[in-house]
């Protein structure tokens, strides 16, 4: 499964916001951009557990942003 997402620094919280086409923008609290990837993967996995209808879409196509 390949998911493309965009990450921006959030000056207010000094964290990061991840924009992913599968779900709403997610605030990710991390000190560096390198720490964002594992956290966004965890967030997406949790989201897919609650919304299994997106799982089928992800398995059949690559979502580009």
Q: Distance of CA 47 to CAs 20, 33, 56, Å? A: 11, 21, 13
Mean pLDDT of the region 39-61 = 74
- At residue 62, the pLDDT reads 47
Q: What is the pTM of this model?
A: 0.54
Mean pLDDT of the region 5-28 = 76
- At residue 39, the pLDDT reads 82
What confidence category does residue 57 fall into, taking pLDDT thresholds of 50, 70 and 90?
Answer: low
Distance separating alpha carbons of residues 49 and 22, to the nearest angstrom: 13
Q: Render pLDDT for 27-46 as a digit per residue (tens, 0 to 9).
A: 677 777 788 778 877 887 88
Strand order in the sheet with 15-20: 6-10, 15-20, 23-28
- At residue 31, the pLDDT reads 76
How many CB atoms sit inside 10 A of residue 55's CB? 15
């Amino acid at each position: 499964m390949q998911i493309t997402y965009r990450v921006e620094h959030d000056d207010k919280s000094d964290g990061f916001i991840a924009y992913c086409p599968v779900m709403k923008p997610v605030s990710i609290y991390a000190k560096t951009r390198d720490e964002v990837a594992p956290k966004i993967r965890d967030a997406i996995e949790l989201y897919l557990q609650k919304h299994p209808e997106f799982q089928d879409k992800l398995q059949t196509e690559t979502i580009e942003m």
